[in-house]
Amino acid sequence: MRRLRNVKIVATLGPASSDYDTIRALHEAGADVFRLNMSHGSHDEISKRHEIIRKVEKDLDSTIGILADLQGPKLRVGEFADGEEELVEGAAFRLDLDEAKGDINRVRLPHPEIFAALEEGAHLLVNDGKIRLKVEKCGPDFADCTVITGGTISNRKGVNVPDVELPLAALSEKDRKDLEFVCALGVDWLALSFVQRAKDVWEARELVNGRAAVLSKIEKPTAVKSFEEILEASDGIMVARGDLGVELPVQNVPPIQKRLVRRCRRAAKPVIVATQMLESMIESPMPTRAEVSDVATAIYEGADAIMLSAESAAGQYPTEAVQTMDNVAREVEADETYREVIEASRKVDRTSVSDAIVSAAREIAENVDIKAICCFTQSGTTALLTARERPRVPIIAMTSERGTARRLALSWGTNCVMTGVLERFKQAVVSAARAARAGGYASATDHIVVTAGVPFNVPGTTNILRVAPCDERLIFSTDPD
């Protein structure tokens, strides 16, 4: 299914989008990748949604990526004797390991790892930052705090610790079970929550063992500080702005988003911008002007994908939310300013033959009347390098690996076409010409750029480029191979 835009759309599935008709409608409206949120839904429900996605993919003869998002460890306070209390600014409040129910003076925090890492002067955020506490004194089983920002605190509210790196693994016991389940199910991407350091990613990669691509969610200040190492360990990145906005001053989030998106692009790794993109469409058929501008900003920055969360999972207008994103993307990408911004931010360190080949392909396509760049790829690397260039013409990723095609559903501008296993370059050129014509990218009188690696079927060997006609008779008459 050809899209008339380059940025990809990720839609989260949930109670509002769990049946065949809705999932099919979401894909037809523009969803390229579906997110399965492991924080919600049983394994049976997740399995059924996965099955439906694959049926839609087969029925529409399309390529759909599936992203499973692990919950990560959840830090929460205990329960209160009266269900809730009102904390007042300036008051003293204690967090401890005592199992007794809480009151106006204290509550249990059943995470000794937090107490082990806390220092005087650190801050604790409760209920998405609505309540802010400052640690005055702490020990291995308590933290005496002053209430900096008051509010209502109630049972099981979440706790964020922005100032310190916590000695917690990114994978809880639940995450490990979920990881094994979704990898056996056959998802294409696995998103890791609570990533603080590259070690968290490497541990997950070992468990995944190549069964899915690993995407790290940047949602903690410690992850921002360790971003270069995390990026190197990851196959992709999600800028999870919701949690970042809780643990960091909100004004810090936009420049961080811009910086991380550009760094991912330089590394040729897909990056998703997520959280609260069209939040009002959970209950309204129309977004706010600010939300539309927010979506547009992510597209102007060159993000590979933009994501819907509750809008498509639990909202009243899931299909309309996807359609809105699609409309905004098409409008932005048609703007001359978009190309100016994208091309001005093209900063790439080209150090390999593959880098040079894809750069040359983009240059040729933009200076000659070329209709598409067709790249043959086994692992997906060549397509990712081509997408990094953000060419003005469509990218057709030709692969014999279904898993590769599905993973590339998250990559900017890639249109995946399945092909048989090829042995000769002439076969590749003919297949590319046929795919370009069949997809409506070019006619028989047009030309395309073809990149491939010889010998074939060896990952990482892109070393050949050809400008080829889309007329097969001309290919056979001019190519001696």
**Phi and psi, residue 325, nearest 5°:** -60, -45
Q: Are residues 323 and 205 in the same domain?
A: yes
Q: Are residues 97 and 44 in the same domain?
A: no
Catalytic residue status for 402: no
Tell me the average pLDDT of the chain: 94
Domain around 138:
84-160
Q: Strands 305-308 and 271-274: what pairing?
A: parallel
Distance, in Å, from the CA atom of 289 to the CA atom of 336, rounded to the nearest integer, reads 21
Q: Are residues 266 and 407 in the same domain?
A: no
Contact status, residue 454 vs residue 461, Cβ threshold 8 Å: yes
In the prediction, which pLDDT does 477 show?
64
- Bridge partners (DSSP) of residue 152 are 86
Domain boundary among 121, 143, 160: 160
Q: Is the pLDDT of residue 277 over 80?
A: yes
Which are the contacts of 127, defined by CB distance < 8 A and separation ≥ 6? 151, 152, 153, 154, 157, 158
For the stretch 21-78, pLDDT in tens is 999 999 999 999 999 999 998 999 999 999 999 999 999 999 999 999 999 998 999 9
Q: Is the pLDDT of residue 480 over 60?
A: no
Instruction: Assess if residue 344 is contained within a domain.
Output: no
Q: Are residues 180 and 304 in the same domain?
A: yes
For residue 347, which of 375, 380, 388, 384 has the smallest C-alpha distance? 388
Confidence band for 475, pLDDT divided at 50, 70 and 90: confident
Distance, in Å, from the CA atom of 185 to the CA atom of 10, rounded to the nearest integer, reads 19
Q: Are residues 107 and 248 in the same domain?
A: no
In the prediction, which pLDDT does 219 show?
94
Q: Is the pLDDT of residue 420 over 90?
A: no
How far apart, in Å, are the Cα atoms of 32 and each of 57, 100, 249, 476? 10, 49, 32, 36
**Phi and psi, residue 28, nearest 5°:** -65, -30
In the prediction, which pLDDT does 363 show?
95
In the prediction, which pLDDT does 472 show?
78
Q: Are residues 378 and 403 in the same domain?
A: yes
pLDDT > 90 in the chain, percent: 87
pTM: 0.94
Q: Are residues 185 and 153 in the same domain?
A: no
Q: Which of 35, 241, 406, 437 is catalytic?
A: 35
Helix residue ranges, H only, 161-317? 173-185, 198-208, 221-225, 227-233, 241-247, 253-266, 289-300, 310-313
**Greater model confidence, 426 or 385:** 385
Instruction: Assess if residue 78 is contained within a domain.
Output: no
> What does the DSSP assignment read for 318-370?
HHHHHHHHHHHHHHHHTSHHHHHHHHHT------SHHHHHHHHHHHHHHHTTE
Q: Is the pLDDT of residue 249 over 70?
A: yes
Q: Is the pLDDT of residue 469 over 80?
A: yes
Distance, in Å, from the CA atom of 329 to the CA atom of 352, rounded to the nearest integer, reads 32
For the stretch 287-344, pLDDT in tens is 999 999 999 999 999 999 999 999 999 999 999 999 999 999 999 999 999 999 999 9
Q: Which of 12, 63, 222, 275 is catalytic?
A: 275
Instruction: Assess if residue 347 is contained within a domain.
Output: no
CATH number of the domain residue 12 falls in: 3.20.20.60
Length of the chain counted residue by residue:
481
Q: Are residues 144 and 222 in the same domain?
A: no
Which are the contacts of 177, defined by CB distance < 8 A and separation ≥ 6? none
In the prediction, which pLDDT does 476 show?
66
Angle at 173 between CA 170 and CA 178, to 5 degrees: 90
Confidence band for 466, pLDDT divided at 50, 70 and 90: very high
Contact status, residue 280 vs residue 320, Cβ threshold 8 Å: no
CATH number of the domain residue 369 falls in: 3.40.1380.20
CATH number of the domain residue 140 falls in: 2.40.33.10
Confidence band for 456, pLDDT divided at 50, 70 and 90: confident
User: HSE-up of 418 (CA within 13 Å, CB side)?
Assistant: 11
Q: Is the pLDDT of residue 274 over 80?
A: yes
Catalytic residue status for 275: yes
Q: Are residues 56 and 181 in the same domain?
A: yes
DSSP category for residue 79: -
Catalytic residue status for 35: yes
Tokens 């468990």, located at residue: 207
For the stretch 175-222, pLDDT in tens is 999 999 999 999 999 999 999 999 999 999 999 999 999 999 999 999
How far apart, in Å, are the Cα atoms of 148 and each of 285, 357, 369? 38, 57, 63
Strand (E) positions, 131-200?
A: 131-139, 142-149, 151-154, 159-160, 189-192
Distance, in Å, from the CA atom of 85 to the CA atom of 93, rounded to the nearest integer, reads 11
- Bridge partners (DSSP) of residue 86 are 152
Number of structural domains found in the chain: 3
Q: Which of 5, 94, 217, 269 is catalytic?
A: 217
For residue 87, which of 150, 157, 156, 143 has the smallest C-alpha distance? 150
